[in-house]
Amino acid sequence: MKFVRRVTALAVLLAAVALAAHAAAPAKPAGRPAANPPARPAAPAQTSAPAAAEGDALDAIAAMVNDEAILASDVEEQVYMFVQRAGVQPSRQEVDSLRRRVLDAMIDDRLVQAEAKRQGVTATEAEINRQLDVAIADQKERLGGDAPFNEALKREGLTEAQLRERFRVDLTKQIAMEKFRQKMFPRKPVTPAEAEAYFNAHKDKFPRVPAEVRLSVIQIPPQPESTAVAAGFAKAQAVRKRLVGGERFAKVAAEESEDPGSKDAGGDLGFFGRGRLEPSVENAAFSLKNNEISQPIRSPYGWHILQTLERDTLKTVARRDSLGEDGKPVVEVHARHILIRVTPSKADADRAHDLAVRVRAEAAKGTNFGILVRRYSKYEGPTGEDGDVNFMPLPSLPPNIRAGVDSLEIGQVSEVLPNQAGFNIFKVTDRKPERDYTVDEIRDDLPEAVAQAQSSEKYEAFVKTLRAKAQIEYRAY
């Protein structure tokens, strides 16, 4: 059972420092996201932001809480950061829903912060400084050290002291709110038997196993001309020579990488497990020794120079190692890369699309899908016989691909569905409906999850009483 931690204004600012006044999106944080669907590329970090209100709307008031305003710009910052951290590409409808949930959460925070202040719960100077130290140290590490961090601050027109002071008030409120919550609603230990009884009586309070679809895929990526591929390889070799010669990875990434989502963070891709990145990049990351510089690695995006920094195991809510189907701990790696793009031309893309349309027509007429897979597919991810990529949770699929397969019956073939890796044709081979988890599936995590759920119940009930007494006005923007 996973619980989303709200993004604080401090985290938003620190990520903004990493942007260093560029238009690129922030790099992926070193988190533990779920695996992406196989047709979804993930080598360059995400760069697109959710649809947001623009112009004067961002200076508007989103809501009034008693006599305090919540600005639309603050809501949009949090929505943007949430999407970036989740590593997803939501539809406009999903963004609208997320925007309302974020606004409601910000209203709740304002109410709780005010109540904490009324009851005299405050953050100490030591607590504030400690959290600031941790956050800034983390950003320095992700950016590649003091020098890149200071360069980013300079481009933002800030000193480190100004950065700390600018967000001291916000962080003070956040710490006080958390102390207040822990004081009022401490998490009490729950025995396995109590946890199981609670789960069986309140299954509606727990997430469900999402509906799944089993897919086979034919992927036809645009192929750039061989001269462009050779030129990119030569540049990648020159970049690697600089790194092997002793230049700092973060510096070279900032100068040479063509992945706008990670270059300003020193090429950092964060932690990731199997199934997250483009297969050629992922396989190299898991096979490299720590701190080893890879040879140029080819992917649909171009050439990558990769360095694996460290390894860890994916943890459960209870901080135990997550186990894979083989019963062994699920390993993740922390890596960084430099991307030299080799971009297909429009003519290359048009040729690939035309071929995909012809292949899809053959599949729709009944030509054996496995034969078409072996003849045409360039998909590099793990597949079984006839392009089988196994069961995928429907919510994990990109919106256009989910829409393209959601209504298909077993045995039917999708239209041509594009993504950054190319043009995809899917065949639905099986489906599983949404269902409740069984106790056996979540037994190890259940006591911690139930303790958190019970604490959250009390907290949410308390927030409802605060809302009932408050004056809250939502405003359109």
52-66, 232-246, 353-367, 428-442: segment of lowest average pLDDT? 52-66
Inform me whether the pLDDT recorded for 224 exceeds 50. yes
Token couple for 165: 């002071």
pLDDT in tens, 269-310: 888 888 778 888 999 999 999 999 999 999 878 999 999 998
- The answer regarding whether domain 9-205+443-474 maps to CATH 1.10.4030.10 reads yes
What integer pLDDT is reported at residue 6 of this predicted model? 32
CA distance 227 to 233: 10
* Whole-number pLDDT of residue 324: 56
The span from the CA of 76 to the CA of 70, in Å, is: 11
Task: State the pLDDT at residue 212.
Answer: 96
Task: Tell whether pTM > 0.75.
Answer: no
Q: What does the pLDDT average to over 410-435?
A: 95
C-alpha–C-alpha distance, residues 292 and 234, integer Å: 20
pLDDT at 165 over 90: no
What φ, ψ does residue 130 adopt, rounded to 5°?
-60, -45
Predicted confidence (pLDDT) at residue 30 exceeds the cutoff of 60: no
Span 63-104, pLDDT tens digits: 999 999 999 999 998 888 887 666 566 778 888 899 999 999
pLDDT of residue 417: 97
Question: Quick one: which of 216, 209, 211 has its CA closest to 431?
Answer: 211
pLDDT band (50, 70, 90) for residue 42? very low
Residues sharing a CB contact under 8 Å with residue 218, sequence separation 6 or more, in sequence order: 356, 359, 363, 369, 372, 373, 376, 377, 379, 387, 424, 425
Residue 226 has pLDDT above 50, yes or no: yes
pLDDT in tens, 377-390: 999 878 888 999 99
Q: Does residue 243 carry a pLDDT above 90? A: yes
Give yes or no on whether 212-222+346-432 and 226-341 have one common fold.
Answer: yes
Question: Does residue 45 surpass a pLDDT of 50?
Answer: no
Strands 388-393, 297-299: pairing kind: unpaired
CATH, domain 226-341, list 3.40.50.970, 3.20.20.150, 3.10.50.40, 3.40.50.1360: 3.10.50.40
Q: What is the 3-state secondary structure (H, E, C) of 224-262?
A: CCHHHHHHHHHHHHHHHHHHHCCCCHHHHHHHHCCCCCC
Domain ranges of the chain: 9-205+443-474, 212-222+346-432, 226-341
Q: Give per-residue burial for 356-365: e unless 16+ CB within 10 Å, then b.
A: beebbebbee
Average pLDDT, the chain: 82
- For the chain, what is the largest distance between any 2 Cα atoms, rounded to a whole number of angstroms? 73
In 289-348, where do the E strands start and end? 297-299, 302-313, 331-341
In this structure, CATH architecture of domain 212-222+346-432? Roll (3.10)
Residue 325's pLDDT is: 60
Q: Is the pLDDT of residue 24 over 50?
A: no
Residue 362 has pLDDT above 90, yes or no: yes
Backbone φ/ψ region at 103: left (φ over 0), alpha (ψ -120 to 50), beta: alpha
Return the pLDDT at 253.
93
CA dihedral for 474, 81, 18, 234, sign (positive or negative): negative
Q: How confident is the model at residue 340 (pLDDT cuts 50, 70, 90)?
A: very high
Mean pLDDT score, 186-193:
92
Helix (H) or strand (E) holding 157: none
| 84 alpha carbon, distance to own chain's centre | 6
